[in-house]
Amino acid sequence: MNDIRVLLIDDEAGYTDALAKRLDRRGLSATTASGGVQALEIMDGAPFDVVLLDIKMAGMDGINTLSAIKRRHPEVEVVMLTAHANTDIVISSLAMGAYDYLLKPADVEELVRKIEDAAMRKRSNSK
């Protein structure tokens, strides 16, 4: 699947920069944002297929960012990333419309498969 646009939202710049490079090498178009407010500004100016969203961030956390994304861009699929498996937060994010979640650090190949699956779902729902 070509031309998948991914937005990585995490307040750990080193993590998002490294992950963006890995995704770019696998043929995905990755953009980074350091938090929810910046991500929403970026999304208002450019289309994305999939968002990878960290749950724990300074400022606007992942749950509030997910809520804003789903209000403003409901067609975009969101994969939540968390370093700590908190069942309540995961269930809450899935109920709010997240596509799925992965534990950090996620295996890059598994992450790519999840992104491709989410992009396929977005595109099939857009038809």
The domain spanning residue 32 has which CATH number?
3.40.50.2300
Q: CA quadruple 46, 91, 117, 114: dihedral positive or negative? A: positive
- pLDDT of res. 90: 83
Task: List the beta strands (DSSP E) in 2-106.
Answer: 5-9, 29-33, 50-54, 77-82, 100-103
Q: Is 127 exposed, middle or buried (0-12, 13-18, 19+ CB in 10 A)?
A: exposed
- pLDDT of res. 127: 65
Between 126 and 105, the higher pLDDT residue: 105
Q: What is Dmax (Cα atoms) for the chain?
A: 37
Count the domains in the chain. Answer: 1
- What is the pLDDT confidence band of residue 98, given thresholds at 50, 70 and 90? very high
Q: Which domain holds residue 48?
A: 5-126
pLDDT digits over 37-67, tens only? 999 999 999 999 999 999 999 889 999 999 9
- pLDDT of res. 86: 78
Q: What is the mean pLDDT of residues 109-113?
A: 94
pTM of the model: 0.93
